[in-house]
Amino acid sequence: MPLRALQADITTLAVDAIVNAANASLLGGGGVDGAIHRAAGPQLLAECRPLNGCRTGQAKLTAGYRLPALHIIHTVGPIWHGGTQSEAGLLAACYRNSLLLAQTQGLRSIAFPAISTGVYAYPPELAAQIAVRSVREALPDCPGVHDVIFCCFSAADLALYEALL
């Protein structure tokens, strides 16, 4: 199962699902979350409202609306507190639970942003290691998922993922 990294705007990818690094409300925010909500359009907010938010490490599915991606998997990454509050396990759960949700929904291609590395301040090097390891560990349980993209916003993030892959 190919894992690959590319530098792009995740809202432009034509995949079965893009992953949204959401906040717990699922009602939009800054960074990737805000960009996805803006690109998907107001129907996304309307679908997210009755979902009653999402806990850190968990994942929920919506339609992609105006995005080229058919679906959005919303996951809430941990806020970095120096690594002392189970952040690594919670971040790994974001990737694992997103992949398991994709598998149960019959989705074959998925693109992940660098979850928690923006306003949640997770160190990008550590987050990339957890992302790649977690995806590799979860993929045997997700045989229907055939294409996993680590979508990097910056060249620096792309270099981190390419070195790990």
33 as an active site residue: the answer is yes
- CA-wise closest residue to 72 among 30, 29, 102: 102
Average pLDDT over residues 70-97: 98
Residue type present at position 154: S
Query: Token digits for 11?
Result: 């809202």
What pLDDT is attached to residue 90?
98
83 vs 154: CA distance, rounded Å: 24
HEC per residue, the chain: CCEEEEECCHHHCCCCEEEEEECCCCCCCCHHHHHHHHHHCHHHHHHHHHHCCCCECCEEEEECCCCCCCEEEEEECCCCCCCCCCHHHHHHHHHHHHHHHHHHCCCCEEEECCCCCCCCCCCHHHHHHHHHHHHHHHHHHCCCCCEEEEEECCHHHHHHHHHHC
Domains of the chain: 3-164 (3.40.220.10)
36 vs 33: CA distance, rounded Å: 5
Looking at the chain, how many residues does it have? 165
Q: Which of 16, 33, 141, 147 is catalytic?
A: 33
Share of the chain above pLDDT 90, in %: 98
- 1 pLDDT exceeds 90? no
- 2 pLDDT exceeds 90? no
Chain segment 26-58, per-residue pLDDT in tens? 999 999 999 999 999 999 999 999 999 999 999
* Mean pLDDT, all residues of the chain: 97
Is this prediction's pTM over 0.85?
Answer: yes
Helices 124-138 & 87-104 angle (0-180, nearest 10): 40
Query: Token digits for 41?
Result: 């359009």
